[in-house]
Amino acid sequence: MIAAALTVAEEHGTSAVTLDSVAEQAKVTKKGLLYHFPSKHALIAGIHEHLAARFDQALLEATGKEPESASLTERTRGYIRVALETPNTVELQFILEARGEPYWLAPWERVNHRWFPDEPPRRGTRHPRPALPDRTDGGRRLLGSGEHPTRPDEPSGPSTPDPGDPGPPRLTDDHRPVSCAPPSCAAGGRTSTHTRGTPPSRTRRS
């Protein structure tokens, strides 16, 4: 049934994943689906369990050994090798949606704790940061240096950011790039909608 849910998401988008659509794709009755997943929320949680388990297996294959037998450098390199693989659009969308839902995030946190048990927990929780794939150019640099990966929204070192650099492009809800988006614009209180590198239009004086 998880495979059916992923098929629906791949063909119609994650918003199309409902109990009815998945039951139809899986060729089962809705009552039969509800036996395994009593709600859409539980179904999405099952999808994250599946995706996190798949990510854990990929980490194992990339590292070549169980996390208990691997050094921090070996585990980090394995993590980055997996994270730099071409992302599946549907998988990436589910991961992004999980960031705001602790119940969906839990499987990823378990994977992260299994591979990086010595990492300090996130503020306000008892669990480490989630092992969400970070497919960035920074990951390629880390692959050569052996440094520990950080989340894209966290500083990786003591370097001072350039005030004139708006940072990496962000995406709106419809996946269009914008020059600034929350939370980076939270302090300024205004979100710019013109594309990076293009000056905003000026108001003509009368």
Asked whether residue 142 is domain-assigned, the answer is: no
Enumerate residue ranges in the chain where pLDDT < 50.
Answer: 124-131, 135-203, 206
Over the stretch 66-107, which tens digit does the pLDDT of each residue have? Answer: 999 999 999 999 999 998 886 688 888 898 888 888 889 999
Domain, as residue range, for 67: 1-115
CB 7 within 8 A of CB 25: yes
Q: Determine the pLDDT at residue 86.
A: 63
175 lies in some domain:
no
Question: Number of folded domains in the chain?
Answer: 1
**Residue 158 domain flag:** no
Q: What's residue 122's pLDDT?
A: 53
Q: What CATH number should be reported for the domain holding residue 11? A: 1.10.357.10
The four Cα atoms 134, 137, 143, 146 give a dihedral, to 10 degrees, of: -80
What is the value of pTM for the model shown? 0.58
Q: Is residue 191 part of a domain?
A: no
| 131 assigned to some structural domain | no
CB 95 within 8 A of CB 133: yes
| In a domain? residue 27 | yes
124 falls within a domain: no
Answer left, alpha or beta for residue 64, where phi above 0 means left and psi between -120 and 50 means alpha: left
Q: Is residue 65 part of a domain?
A: yes
